[in-house]
Structure 1
């Protein structure tokens, strides 16, 4: 049975990166690489012994025993050390390359946070968002939380909001200005927003701070979405032949058990034969990938499609070859203005995507069976991120290798219950069809 899971007849080449035994050498654990290096160094000829008589077998035997003992000691040190890239490491490493392993690496831990960060909004709103997002990290400090710093962050956000009100509202289209003004007022003056957040921080109540912060960030995201009516960049002309999503969309998937069993009940509920999952797809960072997926959903390509469970992923079947477009691999690097096409990111050199794979419930396209420079025309997967299989920085070793185009926002608790043989009864685009541009439209 185990061998059949690796059969290319069942799982094409597009799935192979998920199997740990098939990873490239660059994704081996740092402990393995450092051990290999230490052994190479010890096995090399030692210049300090060249003056000794090479015919002295007793001396040679003693030296070999000493080399083996040193090798064992170095291997033990490398394995037992919690920081394989400490400054005393026998091999040099640039600070940028350590991003994969640094525990201080700041990456979105939820799909909601990743989606907020991906909105191409007004710079003032982004400054407000960044100031508030920092509080989320400060709340993770287990004991003496820096409430003074948190209060400073909120006051900074409030000052930007008040001082730059005209700039913030002027970036909202005319037909949406009324809604934007209401949201702005609720953020600055409304109950449960920034003013209340300051009060809860002064009371040093972490639970109330967390709830109020989430409410404030939701309002910030709503304002930012009003400021982003379409793409902030022009697509290359050769890619205008593909469907494209010029904003956000929501896809609702209804999942059914293939063996007739039920999904476990949620709190206070009943076991269900059907389960619903909602995925927010992001055209701001992956317009071609999200657009192709949205069109497939509208065309009913996923209705009745079976699901397969592989290592850390729930994968759809590949579907008929005439379904979908062979979209080039599409990844938006953090800090860049537009996506990269047909190229992966080198996370070890510090390149991070706007939409990270390293989030439980991330949704991405599998690779094309023909070329890893392209995504599969139809086959997608839910990524079941597990920090135990990631680097110290919380990044998957497959980060930057796939076109991530959205996140599971409703029904994440359903994902671990899905088994091979379960299937998608129906898939619907419930929001965002007005943002979908098809190739034959001008």
Structure 2
């Protein structure tokens, strides 16, 4: 089996190299950011072919099958909250599609009853824990969550396998909103040397309209406020409108944000200076992100950050191969392919700043190619969280 996998992987690499050789004839000026991304992916390929004999402990603890690949689950887990009540509700709902596939109807019936009872018993306490100005919104989201459980319970009772997944996901959307309502103040201050940069102190959503369709990016300022702030600030300025995808490979990533002219990033018109952002990655046991150093530089390769490259549509800031603290306007959307870049065994983690995920519009990403244009990018929610 090992030899078979090896041959298949080598064959895939050969086809990939042929595609790249053909593409290089068409693209004379390759972005130096792309070299870094491609190098990291190449390293992943090499490791996936050679690591069978001995795997570093930090990597061995993250088997591919256990990695979370759903961007919505990743984003919910990344919220800085400590509510055991809502976390338990979340985890139970997330297991329902799997329970349905296994036809564990008695467990599903018990779980939905437990969730309903838990919300009734704890709603008043949850609302009392937030400030008065947030209580109305939390009440609305908890009520919507309770109401969404009614059709879900009915689907479970009649064993409607086709609708349980969609109904549980709808309920989980309200769980995520209620969890976010519990965050009353931003949980940390960024280091002083980056405090003058735009910061997204919360979350926002951006609608990316392209010639191939639309996609929604959920931008996470709780875990990457500086990189997220840079992106949202440029979106609000209309910086990305009309730009093309300057690098694209249907198996790896889409890259854009390179403005016309000789400058590779964003020049702040207020100062006339080229504005950059540092690498910014948070580990699960850290209160604030690590700034200025990649996981590779810290000896943490193989460690899973709070926002990993584990989902199709991961959005991250590009940077020069030799300077992780010189990202500016160019970003890339990671197109997850489990055979080449398995979740939990990905050297991109911790070496680029992830600041969001495409949470709607996968079909658009599937269609986008080199040279396709962004018609517009606009903030559709969370603009009030940008601090400049």
Alignment match, 1:165: 123
Alignment match, 2:11: none
- How far the C-alpha of 1:293 sits from its partner, in A, is 0.6
Q: 1:365 aligns with which of 299, 303, 317?
A: 317
- Structure 2's unaligned 5+ residue stretches are 1-19, 269-274
Are 2:279 and 1:318 equivalent residues in the alignment?
A: no
Alignment match, 2:159: 204
Are 2:56 and 1:118 equivalent residues in the alignment?
A: no
- How far the C-alpha of 1:243 sits from its partner, in A, is 0.3
> Is the alpha carbon distance of 1:437 and 1:12 closer, same or farther for their aligned partners in structure 2, counting shifts above 3 Å?
same
Q: 2:59 aligns with which of 85, 97, 100?
A: 97
Q: 2:336 aligns with which of 370, 380, 385?
A: 385
CA-based RMSD of the aligned residues comes to 3.1
> Is the alpha carbon distance of 1:348 and 1:236 closer, same or farther for their aligned partners in structure 2, counting shifts above 3 Å?
closer
The answer as to whether partners of 1:99 and 1:350 remain within 8 angstroms in 2 is: no
Alignment match, 1:179: 137
Alignment match, 2:33: 14
The answer as to whether partners of 2:33 and 2:320 remain within 8 angstroms in 1 is: yes
- How far the C-alpha of 1:118 sits from its partner, in A, is 2.2
The answer as to whether partners of 2:317 and 2:332 remain within 8 angstroms in 1 is: yes
Matches within 5 A, 1:14-93: 14-19=33-38, 23-24=42-43, 28-33=46-51, 84=52, 91-93=53-55
- How far the C-alpha of 1:117 sits from its partner, in A, is 2.1
Query: What SS is found at the alignment partner of 1:425?
Result: strand
Query: What SS is found at the alignment partner of 1:387?
Result: coil
Alignment match, 1:60: none
Tell me the distance in 2 between the aligned counterparts of 1:166 and 1:294: 35
> Is the alpha carbon distance of 1:179 and 1:105 closer, same or farther for their aligned partners in structure 2, counting shifts above 3 Å?
same
Tell me the distance in 2 between the aligned counterparts of 1:111 and 1:401: 19
Tell me the distance in 1 between the aligned counterparts of 2:301 and 2:370: 36
> Is the alpha carbon distance of 1:211 and 1:411 closer, same or farther for their aligned partners in structure 2, counting shifts above 3 Å?
closer
Alignment match, 2:93: 132
Alignment match, 1:376: 327
Tell me the distance in 2 between the aligned counterparts of 1:415 and 1:279: 12
Alignment match, 1:425: 375
Q: Number of aligned residue pairs: give it.
A: 354
Q: Which has the larger radius of gyration?
A: 1
- Structure 1's unaligned 5+ residue stretches are 34-83, 85-90, 257-262, 264-274
The answer as to whether partners of 1:305 and 1:424 remain within 8 angstroms in 2 is: yes
TM-score using structure 2 length:
0.79
Tell me the distance in 2 between the aligned counterparts of 1:385 and 1:13: 22
- How far the C-alpha of 1:288 sits from its partner, in A, is 0.6
Question: Which moved further from structure 2: 363-372 or 291-300?
Answer: 363-372
Tell me the distance in 2 between the aligned counterparts of 1:21 and 1:246: 30
Alignment match, 1:277: 215
1:157-208 CA distance string (max 9 Å, x none) = 44543443333112333123123223323433x2x31x54344334433223
Tell me the distance in 1 between the aligned counterparts of 2:256 and 2:35: 15
Query: What SS is found at the alignment partner of 2:312?
Result: coil
Are 2:247 and 1:295 equivalent residues in the alignment?
A: no
Q: 1:309 aligns with which of 247, 264, 267?
A: 247
Higher RCO (CA-CA < 8 Å; seq separation 6+): 2
The answer as to whether partners of 2:246 and 2:258 remain within 8 angstroms in 1 is: no
The answer as to whether partners of 1:173 and 1:226 remain within 8 angstroms in 2 is: no
- How far the C-alpha of 1:7 sits from its partner, in A, is 11
TM-score using structure 1 length:
0.71
Question: Which moved further from structure 2: 360-369 or 3-12?
Answer: 3-12
Query: What SS is found at the alignment partner of 1:128?
Result: helix
The answer as to whether partners of 2:282 and 2:290 remain within 8 angstroms in 1 is: yes
The answer as to whether partners of 2:308 and 2:354 remain within 8 angstroms in 1 is: yes
Matches within 5 A, 1:232-243: 232-243=187-198
Query: What SS is found at the alignment partner of 1:382?
Result: strand
